[in-house]
Amino acid sequence: MALHNGTQRKIYVSTFRMTLKPRSAWLAENGTHGQQHLVPEPVPAAPKDVVETDALGKNLKNSPASPMTVPSQKSLEQGSKVVSLKRRANSSTGLAVKFVEPPEKLEVQVGETAVLSCAFTSSEPVASCWIHNKQQVMLSEDRSSITSDEKSSSLLISDVRPEDAGNYTIVVRNRSGSAQHSIRLNVVDRPHPPASCPFVSQLSSSSVELSWSGPGYDGGSAITGYVVEYRRVDAKEQGDWNELTSQCKNTSYRVPLELDPQGEYRFRVRAVNPVGISDPSKESDSITVDNEDDVQEEAYVDVFTNTANSVKDHYDILERLGVGKFGQVFRLKHKKSGQVSAGKFFRGRGMKERAAARKEIELMKELHHPKLVQFLGAYDSRLEVVMILEYIGGRELFERIMDDGFEYTEPTSVCYMRQILEGIQYIHKKNIVHLDLKPENIVCVNRKGTLVKIIDFGLACKLEPGKALMVMHGTPEFVAPEVISYEPVGLAADMWSIGVICYILLSGESPFQGSSDAETLALVTEAQCEFDPESFRDITEGAKVFIRSLLQRDKRARLTCERALAHPWMVSFASVDPRTTKSLNKEKMRRFLAKRKWTKAGKAVLALKRMTHLSSKSDGPDSPSSPGDDKRLGPKAEQALQTLEQSLRTEPRFQQTLKDLSQPRGSTVRFFCTIYGYPDPDVVWLQDEEPVEEMERLQVEYEEDGTCTLIISDLRPEDSGMYTCCASNSMGVARCSARLSVEL
């Protein structure tokens, strides 16, 4: 933490007032300890805190000729009145810290130097510190430094790393209060290589379609495309790597017919973001275009159901990851390989429950795509059925958006929608409908990148030609109208859910959320989609058209995945750099998440009955949201603020001292001085070491800039003497004296 108190350690007294009390009242309040009211710490016991100046401002501290004294109890009893200064409530007039055109964000590449700088104005000396992601900035001698003065503060970070990204808050404090401003630091780099080599996802006699998994880390900036490369590896001709395309926007690519159908090829892929191009992925197996026997559908591991062993024979069962209507999910670790995966333990030993579990397992054996959670195997024993799945280390998509430093823009939303559509397009081509698409089932691959996967196929069904599918399950907020009406369900049911997800992703509000499940289902049945002007203020018209095309009551009118991916809104933002567009407000998204966390506590997937009657008990009214506060700092940052407060404390000092005066009898004289100190000092005026007596011709005035004035009118001979202004606070005591001579 960097602290700055100015070139001189001082704080100006800006607001205080004088209070006048009769001697009897003052003594009644303070008793025999009245001296301590005037001077908080007895001066003889702490002479180091005393600063005394003469009329010329010369320091008389510890001078034997000028001992520091305070009014005695006897003198107080003999005096008529006591004048004691008490500080007034802080005034913000012209004293608050104000930032001057502070930057909102800064973007640097990995390895470069980041300089976060803020200029500010303050009429008082300041102290400042930097906070990173609610933690006090800890300086590293080799990588970071802070430079501060009374007008600005700069944080320099050299050799920037991805973990340096996030919000940096500069907190500036003066004795009147504090102000803060946050700068978002984005650290970008070339993306990592794609996580998997290209594999054949579709094969026909006339074409080959390659698919792959995106990079584990996108470099801190959204992936804008992929470069597909190939080389010939058959015995007759060994070629170098050549570029097949640099314009691929998705994680799949159809190989053109220009390649020799008799040739044997290998493929690899590079990821592209606004910073640059990644290293290549691992190369694929050798592929002959026209030989279907040479390729498998995907390069995933072989999966099978183990009926001879228990899951505990091969895996250590670690912490629980989630719980739902189906059962529970635990993190697993393979005893031999150490590979981490997720185990879905199905609840119930009855025939019906086991049949449902086996149905999901058989369906998952068909699903192998980079945008879908990977199925690794299953255990089916007398005691339990367990499905082994890929462990995904990221969080739910909407929670990822709330991270500090995450670029929440319309282009990044398009990036996520594209990935969701690509995954659903794959299962729709297999005539499978998911039936439970919702934010909780869209999970980020890791905590840094922008790649997502679709999970939880527990309600998914395979459509059979000539046989109508009618279901009574789903999540009310995302379920399609035909499900509520108990009408035949098709692939279009998923497209409705995707429309709801897109609406929430862009606005942070749910289009059909009611105060209860029954009201929500009624709103879904009406299918009246409205766009709140405030929530969609920064959203393009193309996005609204896209959402309307999905949220159609008539399922035949909804976009298919192919048409959705080709929609002008999706295409127009495919190559837009998110950094060049306006960031969306996260506050409504934060409230949405808070509400969902409350309402889904103890509730997984609800079963729906015909129309709006629920087969399970409806939840009560939604709990008020608790969105949190962007301005709230963490406990360590609050401690830093308290340290700033302590650093500003200083004993009273006189910036302008009293001057000796000589005036004729009957005239008016003014003694004035300027005091600074923090906390605000209490001030007492003395004449020849006795408290001054307030009267009609003797007045004391105090200005908010710390100027103290003693006004004596109609001068008399007895007014001659040594006048002292005594200022004290918890840090110490200071005195300033000057002599008045009344000319006869």
Active site residues: 436
- The length of the chain is 744
244 contacts: CB under 8 Å, gap ≥ 6: 228, 229, 230, 253, 255, 256, 267
Q: Are 170 and 183 in contact (CB under 8 A)?
A: yes
Burial class (CB in 10 A: 0-12, 13-18, 19+), 728: buried
DSSP 408-419: --HHHHHHHHHH
Residue 353 sits at φ, ψ, to 5 deg, of -65, -40
Cα(389)–Cα(345) distance, integer angstroms: 11
Task: With H, G, I as helix, E, B as strand and everything else as coil, classify residue 612.
Answer: coil
User: Where are the extended beta strands (E) located within 87-222?
Assistant: 98-100, 105-109, 114-121, 127-132, 135-136, 144-148, 152-157, 166-174, 177-188, 199-203, 208-211
Instruction: Give 531's strand partners.
Output: none
R_g over Cα of the chain: 38
Cα(372)–Cα(193) distance, integer angstroms: 19
Is the peptide bond prior to 691 cis by the omega test (within 30 degrees of 0)?
no
State both tokens at 512: 């059909």
Cα(716)–Cα(693) distance, integer angstroms: 14
Residue 641 Cα distances to 41, 122, 128, 512, angstroms = 27, 17, 9, 44
Task: With H, G, I as helix, E, B as strand and everything else as coil, classify residue 179.
Answer: strand
Burial class (CB in 10 A: 0-12, 13-18, 19+), 638: middle
Reported as type and span, the H/E element at residue 221 is none
CA atoms within 13 A on the CB side of 419: 27
539-562 CB burial, b ≥16 within 10 A, e <16? beebbbebbebbbbbebeebbebe
Residue 151 Cα distances to 97, 544, 637, angstroms = 10, 46, 22
CA dihedral 337, 338, 342, 347 (to 10 degrees): 80
Count of other CB atoms within 10 angstroms of residue 630: 11
401 contacts: CB under 8 Å, gap ≥ 6: 408, 586, 589
* Helix 492-507 / helix 410-429 crossing angle, nearest 10 deg: 170
Q: What is the DSSP letter of 283?
A: P
